[in-house]
Amino acid sequence: MNTRLAQPLWLLAAAASVLALAGCTSAPSVRADFDRAADFTSYKTFGFASPLDTDRRGYQSVLSQHLKAATQREMEARGMRLDSAAPQLLVNFSANLSEKLRVTSVPTTSAFIGGGRGYYGYRGGMYSAWPAYTDQTTVTQYTEGTLNIDVVDLARKQLVWESVLTEVITEKTLDNVQAAVDTAVAAAFAKYPIAAQSKAK
């Protein structure tokens, strides 16, 4: 069941999403697309939608603050500057959680045909046939976070770039949310049409 998050902390968890269920570090799954007709080299300024979809009623969420800071770094690394008054590009975010079920089946040896009681009981204690393999099925529930980053050409009112990140949410994600958001946003912008500029040494 898909639920729009009401609590900022869980929204933050949905966006962070950089740790796997087993506790191993894992990059989020990233999909991105862009408007082939847009000239990304012509964009020099950007701003943020107000309110952002990740904001709560009447105030800016902690999630929005982390997302804005991480996105500003990525945009500036690509030669753009923040201009809240008259931006060419407008950035918006959306985050959701979905409850999922994971079904896994593993073959196991359950018994020997020809042993035990019942019709084949006459074999018991003397000989057996072969192992009977059955599938042991395990169903586990987990939470998947989805983060959307939209970049809009404000003059055209046209979406020119979109990134969608998905990852399993764990308790470890909440231990260092800011770093997790930074990692997620960096993974998204790795697919941006303009590469980050190299820093002078």
Flag whether pLDDT at 141 surpasses 60: yes
2-100+141-189, what's its fold?
Double Stranded RNA Binding Domain (3.30.160)
Are 161 and 191 within 8 A, CB to CB? no
In this prediction, residue 99 carries a pLDDT of: 73
- What does the domain layout of the chain look like in residue ranges? 2-100+141-189
Q: What is the DSSP string of 22-46?
A: TS-B-PPEEEEEE-TT--GGG--EE
Query: For position 144, what pLDDT does the model report?
Result: 78
Residue type, 66: H
Cis-peptide into 131, omega within 30 deg: no
Average pLDDT over residues 102-119: 63
Q: Are 149 and 71 in contact (CB under 8 A)?
A: yes
Higher local confidence (pLDDT), 169 or 49: 49
Task: Quote the pTM value.
Answer: 0.68
Q: Is the CB of residue 80 less than 8 Å from the CB of residue 89?
A: yes
- For 24-83, how does the pLDDT look when each residue is reduced to its tens digit (9 = 90+)? 345 679 999 999 999 999 999 999 999 999 998 888 999 899 999 999 999 999 999 999
